[in-house]
Chains A and B, each alone.
Chain A
Amino acid sequence: MSDTPNRQSEALLSVRSLSVEFGTGQGTFKAVKDVSFDVQPGRTLAVVGESGSGKSVTSLAIMRLTDYTGGRITSGQVLFRPDGGEAIDLVQASDARLREIRGNDIAMIFQEPMTSLNPVFTIGNQISETLILHQGLKGREARLRARDLLQKVRLPDADRLLDRYPHQLSGGMRQRVMIAMALACNPKLLIADEPTTALDVTIQAQILNIIRDLQQEMGTAVIFITHDMGVVAEMADDVVVMWKGEKVEQAPVRDVFASPQHPYTKALLSAVPRLGSLKGQPLPKRTPVMVMDGNVAKPVGDTHEQNTADYTKPVLQVDKLTTRFDVGKTFFGRVTHRVHAVEEVSFDIYPGETLALVGESGSGKSTIGRTLQQLVEPTGGTVRFDGRDMGAMSPADRRRLRQEIQYIFQDPFASLDPRHSVGYSIAEPIIVHGLINDRKARERRVHELLDQVGLLPQHAKRYPHEFSGGQRQRICIARALASNPKLVIADESVSALDVSIQAQIVNLLMELQEKRKLSYLFITHDMAVVEKISHRVAVMYLGQIVELGSRQAIFENPQHSYTRKLLAAVPIADPQRERASVRIEGEIPSPVRPVGQEPAIHRMREVAPGHWVAIEADSLRGAA
């Protein structure tokens, strides 16, 4: 871990014993404790850690942006050598000097490209601004240079893009614009804070490629902040692992993956879901998760095959379900455009089975979940629950269905009312469905539920903001189970969680499935989690299922080109692996269509028993 003096001297950036504090009501909170590392010119350093590890604070502290977020650098140095000569200590530098460096020598890209772009200025204006400010270019020159930059990040039709506004671009395009802006002044160092976390996997793969290419072309050093070990394996030369504000490990990327030293690194790596880890096994499997207990990693849980599905009679039958939304109206209220969110989708779910619905944003996977939970009205098709047609049910029966089908949302914090104790939130489904009317008995039931999801009875009196993200998701699961449902729809329910927490929640869901014979509709974009949890998988693209089959069939023998593309885009947490030579290009098309222009419905063919694939038209093959 110690650097040789020789290497130190040529480092572009040397962080030495950096500590950052935040003042809180209960005293001060040390977000970063005594962290040191070096960034070499032209290389990529990944800073990895889970939420609260201090990785983002570290990146902000390098540019002294912590000054604006209430933090205080209490000790340490940040030595920056822009020309390889005299080092500047950014901790001591004047504000004027820092302003020169920010955006010019050191540039930053943030996670959310929408909020980092100003919505009232055109793309061209925003890129030019940086150029005019730092490089002293004049209007016309700046615009030409801005166009070059957009071409550099491989945005097609750069000329027209210059005059567009941020909201007219997709998330992936906006992130490319952000990269173009960051690279505008040929920075020596690029700090990328979770730049692809908010993007779809295929778009993520494109962005990672661009960053990698540009880095080689321009010789920029990159600090890559991320929680995704797959991204680390694909991008990094060196890795710094952070845990609770401290640097616990630093090594070249291959060494970190091959022989992690610190117990936390080992725990982190063991929790990462790996695509292909269940190769050759027909059933999903629970495996122990390494959990940090003090300073040692301990395995929690056991290995258990999830043989819960009962394929005699489906609990839910969905037949040609269609959901469309009206958007765009003329002055007289005539609808001009519709979002074709879901088009003639059919599938069954059996008792004790997990069906994964995978797809990227705009594929309609969430809309299916919401339609089944009666949060959205379907346009057509039938849904049968336990053999009864939902469309023909009385209002009272439909209300009762909300007891038998439950929904778990992506963001557990947003889905809990901040004004009520979690005990109340968990008891609410019991109250509204009149399941237990005795107050004492209800309280006992809430305690029992808390216990089942691994929380304590005394937690019932607390409020959502007093819990961590993983605990909140456990609360949401307890709430969903309170009414004894048969089917639980989990909509990206583990996507926002740290990997170690994610692995625990996935295990919890599988354990509960076995105990209660639950069926899950597991909606997600994360292929690695799908492989771990699901019995069958349906791949969605633009509102239709393009491939449906057993987990093994989908992962080991994908037939549809989109399924293959999706699998290829997943970053693999293995630096030894050859980087995919196939370039993934193209945006996800929009499901918005003018009225009267109906999408073609794919015909499916059965390539193997239970394995259905959409017959591909050439046009789709081209797009995908």
Chain B
Amino acid sequence: MATAQAVSSSRSWFKSLELVLGILFAGGIVLVVLLSPALFPDGGEGMDLMARLIPPFQSWQHILGTDPLGRDVLARVAVGGKISLMVGFLSVIGAVIIGTLVGLVAGYYRGIAEILLMRFVDIQLALPFILVAIMFLAILGAGIDKVILVMIATQWVQYARLVRGSVLSLRDREFILSARAIGVGNGRIIFTHILPNVLGPIIILMTLQVANNILLESSLTFLGLGVDPLIPSWGGMLADGRTYLQTAWWVSVFPGLAIMFTVLGLNLLGDWLRDYLDPTGQTSK
């Protein structure tokens, strides 16, 4: 503990840096994506076959270069972010809400509810994702909303497991017992005493999962199960640029950088948020 205190002054400085960089990276990218309809009215679809594969930083018109069809890479990264961010965020938010509720109920009430829910979770975890996705999308048809649904349906179980584990260790803690002794009801115990204490690990898993799902969307699209391949998305551009990696690296590197900075920014923000929510200021939990 004493060593943890020793680094805490440099730590608080590092914490504010985390916040600033997080806002800069994730916030900047989200802002560009949101403004993309105004900045790039052609939606990144404008082809110019005379200007194919222009390298980046050569002309003001195409700062990040052009792809094999002469489309502006910057415009496509900005426009493509819409699909990627939507898939990334909505799928994670949906999965967190369902998974956390299930985990709280299973961990707190135990008994038959826990047995049924957790066995279901185990079965779901044992199924390969691609198989479930193919089955799902074959029945429902492709589309961004279905892609998000598949992700929620397959990923909530991870949150459920995580939350249940944390709740199990919390529910026998003395402050929960003392809340019960005072006459606090179950609902209130779950939401005011247990939930705030399990947020830390949830936030960490969330930030990692956003990146995962942005990439997952591109794999599904690649398999023809996801979004319409003509609509630009980061994952899709990454896959398209693969064949040109030797000759035109910029086609796939810039969407890759966009994913990287989004995720890095979110991780920094998540880390900061977790510490901010913990009044004791200890991260080792």
Give the most central of B8, B12, B180, B183: most A CB within 10 Å: B183
Using a CB–CB cutoff of 8 Å, the interface residues on chain B facing chain A are 1-3, 5-6, 8-9, 11-12, 173-175, 177-185, 188, 192-193, 196-197, 277-280
> Smallest CB-CB separation from B12: which chain A residue?
A25
Give the most central of B179, B182, B188, B193: most A CB within 10 Å: B182
**A404-430 interface code vs B (CB 8 A; 1 in, 0 out):** 001101010011111111000000110
Q: How far is the CA of A463 from the CA of B279 in the complex (A)?
A: 7
Which of A407, A416, A433 contacts B181, CB < 8 Å?
A407
Q: How far is the CA of A429 from the CA of B182 in the complex (A)?
A: 6
Residues of A within 8 A of B12 (CB): 25
Residues of B within 8 A of A465 (CB): 279-280
| Given A25-B9, A409-B177: A432 in contact with B2 (beta carbons within 8 A) | no
Q: How far is the CA of A402 from the CA of B1 in the complex (A)?
A: 37
**Interface members, chain A 431-468 (any B CB < 8 Å):** 432-433, 463, 465
19 contacts between A and B (CB under 8 A): A22-B5, A23-B2, A24-B2, A24-B6, A70-B1, A70-B3, A375-B177, A403-B183, A407-B182, A409-B174, A409-B177, A417-B179, A418-B280, A419-B277, A419-B278, A420-B196, A463-B279, A463-B280, A483-B182
Distance of B280 from chain A, by nearest CB (Å):
5
Which of A409, A418, A432, A476 contacts B183, CB < 8 Å?
A432
Contact assessment for A415 and B3 in the assembled complex, using a CB-CB cutoff below 8 Å: no
Known: A29-B2, A407-B182, A416-B178. 19 other contacts (CB 8 A): A22-B6, A25-B9, A25-B12, A70-B1, A70-B5, A399-B183, A406-B182, A409-B174, A409-B178, A414-B173, A415-B175, A416-B175, A417-B175, A417-B179, A418-B175, A418-B197, A419-B197, A420-B196, A428-B182
Residues of B within 8 A of A432 (CB): 182-185, 188
| Given A375-B177, A415-B175: A23 in contact with B6 (beta carbons within 8 A) | yes
Distance of B78 from chain A, by nearest CB (Å):
40
Residues of A within 8 A of B175 (CB): 414-418
| Given A375-B180, A433-B183: A418 in contact with B2 (beta carbons within 8 A) | no
Residues of A within 8 A of B181 (CB): 373, 375, 402, 406-407
Using a CB–CB cutoff of 8 Å, the interface residues on chain A facing chain B are 22-26, 29, 69-71, 373, 375, 399-400, 402-403, 406-407, 409, 411, 414-421, 428-429, 432-433, 463, 465, 476, 479, 483
- Leading 4 A-B pairs by shortest Cβ distance: A70-B2, A402-B183, A23-B6, A25-B8
Contact assessment for A24 and B183 in the assembled complex, using a CB-CB cutoff below 8 Å: no
Q: How far is the CA of A416 from the CA of B174 in the complex (A)?
A: 8
| Given A24-B5, A399-B183: A407 in contact with B178 (beta carbons within 8 A) | yes
> Smallest CB-CB separation from A424: which chain B residue?
B192
Distance of A152 from chain B, by nearest CB (Å):
37
Q: How far is the CA of A69 from the CA of B6 in the complex (A)?
A: 12
> Smallest CB-CB separation from B188: which chain A residue?
A432
Distance of B285 from chain A, by nearest CB (Å):
10
Residues of A within 8 A of B179 (CB): 417, 428
Q: How far is the CA of A414 from the CA of B197 in the complex (A)?
A: 13
Q: How far is the CA of A71 from the CA of B5 in the complex (A)?
A: 11
Q: How far is the CA of A433 from the CA of B12 in the complex (A)?
A: 40
Residues of B within 8 A of A399 (CB): 183
Q: How far is the CA of A463 from the CA of B193 in the complex (A)?
A: 14
| Given A70-B2, A70-B6, A432-B188: A415 in contact with B182 (beta carbons within 8 A) | no
Contact assessment for B180 and A414 in the assembled complex, using a CB-CB cutoff below 8 Å: no
Q: How far is the CA of A23 from the CA of B12 in the complex (A)?
A: 15
Give the most central of B3, B175, B184, B188: most A CB within 10 Å: B175
Residues of A within 8 A of B1 (CB): 70
Distance of A63 from chain B, by nearest CB (Å):
17
Give the most central of B178, B180, B193, B278: most A CB within 10 Å: B178
Residues of B within 8 A of A375 (CB): 177, 180-181
Q: How far is the CA of A293 from the CA of B145 in the complex (A)?
A: 69
Contact assessment for B279 and A417 in the assembled complex, using a CB-CB cutoff below 8 Å: no
Contact assessment for B183 and A415 in the assembled complex, using a CB-CB cutoff below 8 Å: no
Residues of B within 8 A of A417 (CB): 175, 179, 193, 196-197
Contact assessment for B177 and A429 in the assembled complex, using a CB-CB cutoff below 8 Å: no
Residues of B within 8 A of A433 (CB): 183
Distance of B260 from chain A, by nearest CB (Å):
33
Residues of B within 8 A of A403 (CB): 183
> Smallest CB-CB separation from B175: which chain A residue?
A417
Q: How far is the CA of A432 from the CA of B184 in the complex (A)?
A: 6
Distance of A460 from chain B, by nearest CB (Å):
14
Distance of B241 from chain A, by nearest CB (Å):
46
Q: How far is the CA of A411 from the CA of B177 in the complex (A)?
A: 12
Contact assessment for B2 and A71 in the assembled complex, using a CB-CB cutoff below 8 Å: yes
> Smallest CB-CB separation from B277: which chain A residue?
A419
> Smallest CB-CB separation from B3: which chain A residue?
A70
Contact assessment for B2 and A22 in the assembled complex, using a CB-CB cutoff below 8 Å: yes
Give the most central of A23, A407, A411, A483: most B CB within 10 Å: A23
Contact assessment for A428 and B177 in the assembled complex, using a CB-CB cutoff below 8 Å: no
Q: How far is the CA of A591 from the CA of B196 in the complex (A)?
A: 38
Residues of B within 8 A of A26 (CB): 9
> Smallest CB-CB separation from A68: which chain B residue?
B3
Contact assessment for B182 and A479 in the assembled complex, using a CB-CB cutoff below 8 Å: yes
Residues of A within 8 A of B2 (CB): 22-24, 29, 69-71
Q: How far is the CA of A403 from the CA of B278 in the complex (A)?
A: 30
Distance of B18 from chain A, by nearest CB (Å):
17
Q: How far is the CA of A375 from the CA of B188 in the complex (A)?
A: 17
Contact assessment for A415 and B174 in the assembled complex, using a CB-CB cutoff below 8 Å: yes
Give the most central of A71, A429, A483: most B CB within 10 Å: A429
Distance of A66 from chain B, by nearest CB (Å):
9
Q: How far is the CA of A177 from the CA of B2 in the complex (A)?
A: 30
Distance of B160 from chain A, by nearest CB (Å):
22
Q: How far is the CA of A416 from the CA of B173 in the complex (A)?
A: 10
Distance of B179 from chain A, by nearest CB (Å):
7
> Smallest CB-CB separation from B11: which chain A residue?
A25
Contact assessment for A414 and B174 in the assembled complex, using a CB-CB cutoff below 8 Å: yes
